[in-house]
Structure 1
Amino acid sequence: MKSLIYGAVFFVLSGWGAGADLGPDVFSMPSSSSLKSHSPYTMKVEADPLALARVLCLDGGGGRGIYTAAVLDYLEEELQGKRVCDFFQGGITGTSTGSLIALAILAPTHFNKATGKREEGPYPANEIVDFYEDMIKEVFKGWTPANCWRNVSHGYDEGCFSSLKKTLWSMMTCFGCCACYKNCDGFCGPRYSNHSLRAFLERHFGDLTLADALVPAQIVSYDVSQNRPIYFSSFKTPKVRFVDAALCSSAAPTYFPSVSIEDGRNGTYPCVDGGVFDNSACLAALKLGLLHSASLMSPASTRHLDNFVLLSIGTGEENIDSRYKKLKHSGKLRWASDAIKISMEGTSKAAHENLQDIYEASGVRDERYFRIQTILTPKESQMDNTKESITEALVNKARNDVSDDSKPFRRFVRYHIEGKLKREIKEDAQEDQEVLQQFQALNTSLAQVAHSEV
């Protein structure tokens, strides 16, 4: 009886009956009882068929990642007690600063700043906002003797002789012109060493590996020795540590030095920020969802690309007019300083336009693809701006964007959170109605038995 009722509810909610306005999040898929795993990676949360069809993609952008963190904070409020990773079981992909947020969402334990100890469960989204405020202050420091020495030493991953040679040369040039502060603003070397970032990540992630992620993780980087993309993931590189993957993905040229990493299988990679080629890795995020789906289900049940709900969150892009005026008559130096931001924003826009066309061709763009982005002033677009007024402005932009009914965040909530809750309420009502009918039938039978005995 119950299966017939659930079949009727599904019939109504999937668009064939009167309940089609509740949203498009229901489509043909197996129940949680039919899910099976033959993957080397094992998900650490209870599988939800609907959540397995949702994927999350987080852009890069340095300190602007606090905008992304704030959006996720509001999203988690809408989820009413659930964590972001529970809702996006298809996988979470992050590039550069987005990789740090993705790993915090997926971590099975988190660092409690108040107690100084690790505790069970992922970082709550509201703590990731605090996480970012602390990280910006620690990582993007101004002048200190230690930072100055690290900037001119350059001995990040070099042998003894090479490190000594580079150190002597830097001392002759940088100390000679008193320009060791941020390596002439990134002109003659990375603006920052990655020592502070590594220490921060070690404190917050410890020895966690991608195999420990609560749901599938994917972190984007780029191998500069072989000119090829690197996708660290829970499936392909499960032994890679959170800390190493995050350092590789966030090693933005001119900001941080490249990072060499051994993946435990294919050798050593000298990596830089994945944003140089794929700052908004939406297609890679969908690929992760497909791989995860294929690992859990029979070939006949595996989903297609347009079955997935994709939420992509950016870190803001600079106002076009202000950039055009700044670069209109610029030469190599000015263009070089903006090239990283232009590359990141350009690849993000390209991904967005291509995904729009793909979902549009399938007739499901408004229901299954959501891109949250905001417009920034030149000062707000700086990836290493540590001013409190800037971080407050980015958080305020997130608040405005999630409150505006005309923007994608509210549309996503209407379709895939409020709509799902309506379906659950309707299913509960059907169950209650069935129980009531059974109870009434039992009462009638008892009354008939009592009457016959009399």
Structure 2
Amino acid sequence: METPEGNQRLERPFRVLSLDGGGMRGIYTGAFLARLTDQFARIRNESALDLGLGFDLITGTSTGAIVGCALAVGRPMSEVVALYREHGPKIFPHRLTGKRSAIYRASQGDRFVRAGDKALREALKSVLGTTTMVEVFAGRGISLAIPAVLMSEHRAWVFKKTAKSGVRDDRYPLVDVCMATSAAPIYRSLAAIDDPNTPAGPQQVFADGGLWANNPIMIGLVDALTIAAPDRPIEIFSLGTCPRPEGDHLDAESAHRSMLDWRLGADVAPLSISAQEFAFDHMARLLANAISGCGRQIRRVRFPNKPVPASMMPYLALDDTRPEAMDRLVAQANTDADLTKSACDDPNSEDGRMIRRLMNDLPAMPATGAVWDRAPTRARRG
């Protein structure tokens, strides 16, 4: 039997939240969502709004998965911001700032990544507890799709629980899923996690999903097309992590970069993230437009979409845990959230109207977070 809440969800568009990866810049994502939802909560005279329940599907990569899973279990975004502030320096105990720091990191073996691995797992447990993929789907009706890389086969892997995904990933704890998708080579350890389908068997080892899907919007679009009923409109909300304006103006001689010039590989990650964000966003736009032209209504909005101020440039490294860097990211998130709220108040802004409808549909929740039954009792239809 469908609940009234379930019927209401079926009447609205099938909504997808897509959250980019970006290391410590996840504090920007959490702060942006906290600021925006808080403004609408105050307008509606509610203590807080349950943003997670606004979406049928949440897809996130690396740090985006951490934020997305926190939303899925109904935690306030203020807790996520606190996670980065309190645990970030332990997750990234040594910042790569140049050639010398890269050489020093190499001389220390696995010391820093081992410490960071332990710190991240403890931080994730404090927010996500022991909740599994199937418990989120059954107890909250939210589908999840989290990309990673399976090291034993060097292939893409998506931790997934939807109405049509089967049972392979049902029993994975969200903590393990987040460890897997955020296991960025060089910056962090690979993630060795238990396979819940093979008790006492060998562990599986994963690498960061950002290696192939740092912007997971295409995962969200494909899954939405698979899950949602054919006549149900699809809306995709995509959020970045305040990425720096990228680009290198190189002469012919500078093209011959050494390993040290690449900081022993550390500079490859930001290059990959930047290229993927641009490519995947445009592929999703073109595909959504083509499908919409065939009669299937698909709308997408990427927010915020303003250029990053030049003053933010020194604070956008993936592993920058300095207090001033986190303060600047939170301040920028607040500014961008206020601009997004202004767009919501503009009757001529289509993106603003789409975000405003989402916010007005959100159910209220206690300021301390959502309370829900983790026993697998129901699932949502497309």
Task: Evaluate the alpha carbon distance shift between residue 50 and residue 129 of structure 1 in structure 2; reply closer, same or farther with a 3 A threshold.
Answer: farther
Counterparts of 1:408 and 1:345 in 2: how far apart (Å)?
Answer: 26
Post-superposition Cα deviations, 1:55-94, rounded to whole Å, max 9, x if no partner, equal 0011111101111111211332254343111211x21011
Spell out, residue by residue over 1:197-226, the C-alpha distance to the aligned partner (whole angstroms, 9 max, x if none). Answer: 112222332211111212112211111221
Contact persistence 1:64–1:383 (CA under 8 A): yes
- Asked if the contact 1:210/1:217 (under 8 Å) is kept, the reply is yes
Larger relative contact order, structure 1 or 2 (CA cutoff 8 Å, min sep 6): 2
| 1:379 aligned residue | 314
Contact 1:356–1:365 (CA under 8 A) maintained in structure 2: no
Which 10-residue stretch deviates more, 208-217 or 267-276? 267-276
Q: Is 1:200 aligned to 2:132, yes or no?
A: no
When residues 202 and 337 of structure 1 are mapped into structure 2, their CA distance, relative to the original with a 3 A threshold, is same
Partner of residue 301, structure 2: 370
Equivalent pair of 1:370/1:409 in contact (CA under 8 Å): no
Q: What is the CA–CA distance in structure 2 between the aligned matches of 1:319 and 1:186, rounded to whole Å? A: 28
Aligned residue in 2 for 1:289: 224
Match of 1:233 in 2: 160
User: What are the equivalent positions in structure 2 for 1:205-224 lying under 5 Å apart?
Assistant: 205-213=128-136, 214=140, 215-224=142-151
C-alpha separation between the residues in 2 aligned to 1:187 and 1:337? 15
Q: Deviations over 1:347-402 (max 9, x none)?
A: 11111111122233336999821112553754322111111111121122222223
State the match for 1:59 in structure 2.
20
Distance 1:92 1:414 in 2: 20
Q: Tell me if the contact between 2:20 and 2:62 (Cα under 8 Å) persists in the aligned partners.
A: yes
**Do residues 312 (structure 1) and 232 (structure 2) align?**
no
1:185 aligns to what?
105
Separation of aligned partners in 1, 2:324 and 2:250: 24
TM-score by length of 2: 0.73
Segment of structure 1 superposing worse, 60-69 or 129-138: 129-138
CA contact (8 A) 1:103 1:242 kept: yes
The alignment status of 1:343 with 2:262, answered yes or no, reads: no
Counterpart of 1:435 in structure 2 is: none
1:261 maps to a residue whose letter is I
Q: CA deviation at 1:309?
A: 0.6
In 2, the alpha carbon distance for the partners of 1:379 and 1:48 equals 43
2:316 alignment partner AA:
S
CA distance in 2, matches of 1:95, 1:198: 16
**Change in 2 beyond 3 A, CA 1:339/1:51:** farther
8 Å contact from structure 1 (residues 380, 390) kept in 2? yes
Counterpart position of 1:415:
353
Q: 2:26 and 2:106 mapped to 1: Cα distance?
A: 21
Please give the residue correspondences for 1:53-452 in structure 2 after superposition, counting only pairs within 5 Å.
Answer: 53-80=14-41, 81-88=48-55, 90-107=56-73, 122-142=74-94, 184-185=104-105, 189=109, 191-193=112-114, 194-213=117-136, 214=140, 215-235=142-162, 236-265=168-197, 268-293=203-228, 301-303=229-231, 307-320=233-246, 323-324=248-249, 328=254, 330-335=257-262, 336-361=265-290, 362=292, 368-372=299-303, 373=305, 375=308, 377-404=312-339, 411=349, 414-419=352-357
Distance 1:245 1:283, change over 3 A: same
1:325/1:390 CA distance change after superposition, 3 Å: farther
8 Å CA contact 2:75, 2:127 repeated in 1: no
Go from structure 1 to structure 2 and tell me whether the alpha carbon gap of 1:289 and 1:420 turns closer, same or farther (over 3 Å shift). closer
- One-letter amino acid matched to 1:195: K
8 Å CA contact 1:54–1:87 kept in 2: the answer is yes
Kindly tell me: are residues 183 and 409 of structure 1, through their superposed partners in 2, closer, same or farther at Cα, counting changes over 3 Å?
A: farther
Q: What percent identity do the matched residue pairs reach?
A: 24
Query: How far apart are residue 123 of structure 1 and its match?
Result: 1.0
Change (3 A) 1:189 1:281: farther
Query: Secondary structure of the residue that 2:189 maps to in structure 1?
Result: coil
Cα pair distance change 1:317/1:211, threshold 3 Å: same
Counterparts of residues 5-84 of structure 1 (less than 5 Å): 48-50=9-11, 53-80=14-41, 81-84=48-51
Identify if the C-alpha distance between structure 1 residues 421 and 402 changes in structure 2 by more than 3 Å, giving closer, same or farther: closer
Aligned length: 324
d(CA) in 1 for partners of 2:29, 2:119: 22
In proportion to residue count, which structure has more helix?
1
CA distance in 2, matches of 1:34, 1:83: 18
Query: Conserved in 2, the CA contact under 8 Å of 1:367 and 1:415?
Result: no
Asked whether the equivalents of residues 63 and 132 of structure 1 are also in contact (C-alpha less than 8 Å), the reply is yes
Cα RMSD over matched residues? 3.7
User: Aligned residue for 1:439?
Assistant: none
